C-alpha cells in the first residue's frame, strides 16, 4: 500500500503522531490477556544464558543502550552493547551461554548483518528486533521479533525507536520473570505501565506546541549540548543525534556526571543545554549539574515532569513539562521531546526534514 503524509507536513511529523497507535499494536502482539509476555516460536530460554551482547547502528544502537539498563536492573543479566561497525572488526570473543541480540529497523544494515554473521556458530542463540519481517537480518536469526511499527519513511527514525524500546522492555521483563529475578507484583506493575503507554504518549504529543516554542530559540544556536543520567543518558544521545541529523546544528550528548570532565569548558551564554531528567532517584544529582551550567551562563532547557520542574527553581531558561509516568517507561515517553525538539528546530530552520542531506534511510554499504 502506498504510504502518504495523511495531512501532515512531513512524514516525520506523521510518524511521531502515529506512536500511540503503533505502540498499542506492538503491545497487543506481545502482551497476553493473562498479563504474561508471549514471544513467537521458538521463544527464548532465558535460564540457558548468562549474558547478552547487543549490536546495532544509529538510533537502534541507542535503543540497545537504553535496554542495557533494563536487562541489567530488572533481569540482572550482564549486557554488552556495541555499534556494529566496531563489533564486527574487533572480533570479540563470545563466551558460552551468550544471547546475541541485533536491533535494526530495516533489517538490512550491512554492518549489523555482518555482525550477526560473525556471531553465527559462536553465540548460543541469535535474536533480532526488526521492523521488516522479510529482511535479511530477520531471516538469518534464530528468532526475529517484529516491532510492528509499520512503514517508516522519514530518514530520521522515530516510531521505530519507541517500538524497539517497547519490545526490548518486554523482553527484559520476560527474562526477569523466567530467571526469577522479579517479584510477581513488580512484574504486574511494569506490565500495567506498558499498557498505559499509548495514552501517555498521546498526552506527551499534546505538549508539542511548548516544544515548538523552545525549538524556535534552539534554531538560533550553533552548538547544543544534551545531558542525561542513568537510563536518560541514551535519550540525551538520541536527542542530539536527531537534532544534528535534521537541523544540522552541532549537538553532543554527555552523561550528566561527565560534564565536569571536559564539556563544561564549552559552556557560555550561547550554548543551550537540554537536560532530560524526570524527577527520579537521581534527580538531585542532575540539579547540581544544571547549577554548574547556569553558573557559567549556559541556557538550560529542562525536560522533566511537574515535580522536577518545580524543584529546579529559577534560572532555568526553558521548561518542558512532560506528563508524570512510571520510571520504567520514562525512556519511551522521553523519546518524544528528543524527536519533537529536533523536528520543530529543523522546521524553523527550513531544512529538508524527511530527506536530510548526506543520509540514507537504510545503509546497505559498509
Q: Which is nearer to ligand G6P, 149 or 221 (CB)?
A: 149
The closest of 152, 143, 111, 147 to 131, measured between CA atoms, is 147
> What values do phi and psi take at 148, rounded to 5?
60, 35
Using CB under 6 A, which of the segments 138-146, 155-163, 222-230, 344-352 binds ligand G6P? Answer: 155-163
**Does 109 participate in binding ligand G6P (rule CB under 6 A)?**
yes
Closest residue to ligand G6P in the complex (CB) = 58
Dist. CA 266–CA 224, nearest whole Å: 10
340 binds ligand G6P (CB under 6 A): no
- Any contact of residue 355 with ligand G6P (CB under 6 A)? no
Q: Which is nearer to ligand G6P, 109 or 286 (CB)?
A: 109
With CB under 6 A as the rule, give the number of residues binding ligand G6P: 16
C-alpha span between 288 and 225 (Å, rounded)? 16
239 binds ligand G6P (CB under 6 A): no
Tell me which stretch binds ligand G6P (CB under 6 A): 1-9, 106-114, 140-148, 307-315.
106-114
- Whether the Cβ atoms of residue 215 and residue 348 lie closer than 8 Å to each other: yes
- Compute CA distances 199 → 19, 189, 202, 333, whole Å: 10, 16, 5, 10
Among 157, 256, 286, 304, contact with ligand G6P (rule: CB under 6 A): 157
**Between 112 and 162, whose beta carbon lies closer to ligand G6P?**
112
* C-alpha distances out from residue 260 to 101, 140, 173, 224, 293, Å: 34, 44, 35, 16, 10
Beta bridge partners of 272: 299
User: Looking only at Cα atoms, what is the longest distance across the chain?
Assistant: 57
For cell 536469526, what's the residue?
141
Which of 217, 244, 285, 361 is the catalytic position? Answer: 361
CB of 164 to ligand G6P, least distance (A): 8
Torsion from C-alpha of 286, 288, 291, 295, nearest 10 degrees: -130
What is the spatial distance between Cα 311 and Cα 274, in angstroms, rounded to a whole number?
A: 17
Report 35-64 residues binding ligand G6P (CB under 6 A): 57-60
Site for ligand G6P contains 66 (CB under 6 A): no
Compute the least distance from the CB of residue 169 to ligand G6P, in Å: 18
Give me the least distance between CB of 345 and ligand G6P, in Å please: 17
Helix (H) or strand (E) holding 30: helix 19-30
362 binds ligand G6P, rule: CB under 6 A: yes
Task: Assess contact for 175 and 71: CB atoms under 8 A.
Answer: yes
Active site residue 9: no
Contact segment (CB under 6 A) with ligand G6P among 26-34, 43-51, 100-108, 141-149 equals 100-108
Active site residue ranges:
361
Q: Which residues bind ligand G6P (CB under 6 A)?
A: 57-60, 104-106, 109, 112, 155-157, 359, 361-363
Amino acid at each position: 500500500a502506498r504510504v502518504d503524509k495523511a495531512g501532515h507536513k512531513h512524514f516525520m511529523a506523521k510518524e511521531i503522531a502515529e506512536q500511540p497507535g503503533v505502540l498499542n499494536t506492538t503491545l497487543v502482539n506481545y502482551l497476553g490477556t493473562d498479563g504474561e509476555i508471549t514471544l513467537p516460536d521458538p521463544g527464548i530460554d532465558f535460564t540457558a544464558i548468562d549474558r547478552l551482547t547487543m549490536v546495532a547502528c544509529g538510533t537502534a544502537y541507542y535503543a540497545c543502550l537504553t535496554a542495557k539498563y533494563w536487562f541489567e536492573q530488572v533481569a540482572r543479566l550482564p549486557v554488552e552493547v556495541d555499534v556494529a561497525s566496531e563489533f564486527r572488526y574487533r572480533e570479540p570473543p563470545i563466551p558460552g551461554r551468550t544471547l546475541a541480540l541485533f536491533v535494526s529497523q530495516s533489517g538490512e544494515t550491512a554492518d549489523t548483518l555482518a555482525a550477526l554473521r560473525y556471531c553465527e556458530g559462536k553465540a548460543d542463540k541469535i535474536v533480532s528486533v526488526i521492523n521488516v519481517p522479510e529482511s535479511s537480518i530477520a531471516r538469518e536469526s534464530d528468532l526475529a521479533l517484529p516491532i510492528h511499527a509499520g512503514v517508516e519513511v522519514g530518514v530520521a527514525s522515530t516510531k521505530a525507536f519507541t517500538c524497539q524500546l517497547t519490545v526490548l522492555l518486554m523482553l527484559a521483563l520476560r527474562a526477569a520473570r523466567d530467571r526469577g529475578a522479579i517479584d510477581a507484583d513488580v512484574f504486574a506493575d511494569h506490565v500495567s505501565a506498558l499498557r498505559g503507554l499509548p495514552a501517555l504518549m498521546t498526552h506527551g504529543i499534546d505538549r508539542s506546541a511548548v516544544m515548538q516554542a523552545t525549538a524556535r530559540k534552539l534554531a538560533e544556536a550553533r552548538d547544543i549540548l544534551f545531558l542525561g543520567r542513568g537510563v536518560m543518558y541514551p535519550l540525551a544521545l538520541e536527542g542530539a543525534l536527531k537534532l544534528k541529523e535534521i537541523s544540522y546544528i552541532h549537538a553532543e550528548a554527555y552523561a550528566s556526571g561527565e560534564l565536569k570532565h571536559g564539556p563544561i569548558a564549552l559552556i557560555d551564554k550561547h550554548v543551550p543545554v537540554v537536560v532530560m531528567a524526570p524527577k527520579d532517584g537521581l534527580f538531585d544529582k542532575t540539579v547540581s549539574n544544571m547549577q554548574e551550567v547556569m553558573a557559567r551562563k549556559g541556557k538550560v532547557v529542562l525536560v522533566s515532569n511537574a515535580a522536577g520542574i518545580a524543584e529546579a527553581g529559577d534560572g532555568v531558561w526553558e521548561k518542558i513539562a512532560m506528563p508524570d509516568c512510571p520510571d520504567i517507561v520514562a525512556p519511551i515517553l522521553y523519546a518524544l521531546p528528543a524527536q519533537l525538539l529536533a523536528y520543530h528546530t529543523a522546521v524553523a530552520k527550513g531544512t529538508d526534514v524527511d530527506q536530510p542531506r548526506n543520509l540514507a534511510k537504510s545503509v546497505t554499504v559498509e
